[in-house]
Amino acid sequence: MSSSGTGPLRLGTRKSLMATTQSQMVADELTRRTGRAVELVGVTTEGDVSKALLAQIGGTGVFVNALRDKILSGEVDFAVHSLKDLPTAETPGVVLAATPARDDARDALCGPSKLADLPRGARVGTGSPRRIAQLLALRPDLDVVPIRGNADTRLRKVTDGELDAIVLAYAGLNRIGRLDAVAEVFETDQMLPAPGQGSLALECAAERDDLRAVLGAVDDAVTRAAVTAERTVLAVLGAGCSAPLGTFAVVEEEKLHLTATAASVDGSRQIRLSASGHPDRAERIGRELADRMLAQGADQLMGERD
């Protein structure tokens, strides 16, 4: 294989601007830390060519599966994903080898004005049930419009006047140099991000101990603890990536603080709870918080979606 010894590592990536930009960031950091050369290998997925809304073709997992297939076939050595796209169920033969230091996890409103200044009944675009639910909890009068496509395609809908605003991840906008479009960044008490938002995930074949060691050079323990807690909530609630669930964990002074919300899609009902503990207990903290949410009826909220 080309990756044996000192040959360049082959990094599988989707071909979108966002994906190649974040993959190149990881490649550069890996080379800086380990001295290994990394080459990007573009992969086209069903999610990139289908016109259907993501939820109809299996959610964001369609992007992930195509890259995992390339890892398992040996066509690429590893892949970089947006961690929030990763299904929580483990895939045989593939392992999460590293979670680099997290970027800003918050959501951003893109358009000419802040949320409070949008006109009554304003058309706001997002393809995420989580964002829809939390937007409507803040502004029940909004006309939330489902959209998909890459960031530039979505932003164009605002400049063309088709929409009054859209919501995107701040980290992604930062990576592609489009912070000029941001009117407001939502604090986490207004809108909780998706589990793992702002984080990247490096996956490789489970049997490649040599490669896992190399990729581990960019792993960030604080990020891993935070996203482990968040993704455990998602896994325990049994919610797919398209569920209206927001979570956010932060580690401060050796303590992990986790908050999660489950909402009905119309934003009228919301269960929001918090928990804390040592980062080493990240999975248990997430599990216990999810159990408390279930005890308050979070599973019924999950059922209130189309």
305 included as an active-site residue: no
Q: Which of 69, 104, 139, 148 is catalytic?
A: 148
Sign, CA torsion 217/192/112/15: positive
Q: Report how far residue 152's alpha carbon sits from residue 23's, in angstroms, rounded to the nearest whole number.
A: 18
Contact 67, 79 (CB under 8 A): yes
Annotated active-site residue in 130, 157, 208, 212: 130
CA-closest candidate to residue 59, choices 79, 80, 89: 89
Alpha-carbon span 290 to 44, nearest angstrom: 35
Residue 14 falls in the annotated catalytic set? no
| DSSP 8-state class, residue 229 | H
Name the active-site residue from 14, 68, 154, 231: 154
Residue type, 161: G
Catalytic residue (choose from 10, 36, 85, 103): 85
Q: Is 131 among the residues known to form the active site? A: yes
- From the candidates 10, 14, 131, 157, give the one annotated as an active-site residue: 131
Does the annotation mark 130 as catalytic? Answer: yes
Strands (E), 35-153: 38-43, 78-82, 94-98, 107-110, 123-125, 143-145
**Helix, strand, coil % over all residues of the chain, rounded to 5:** 40, 25, 35
Out of 68, 77, 204, 241, the active site residue is 241
- Reading the block at residue 8, the tokens are 């360049």
Q: How far apart are CA 265 and CA 19, in angstroms?
A: 28
Say whether 148 is catalytic.
yes
Annotated active-site residue in 36, 84, 175, 231: 84
Give the active site residues.
Answer: 84-85, 130-131, 148, 154, 241
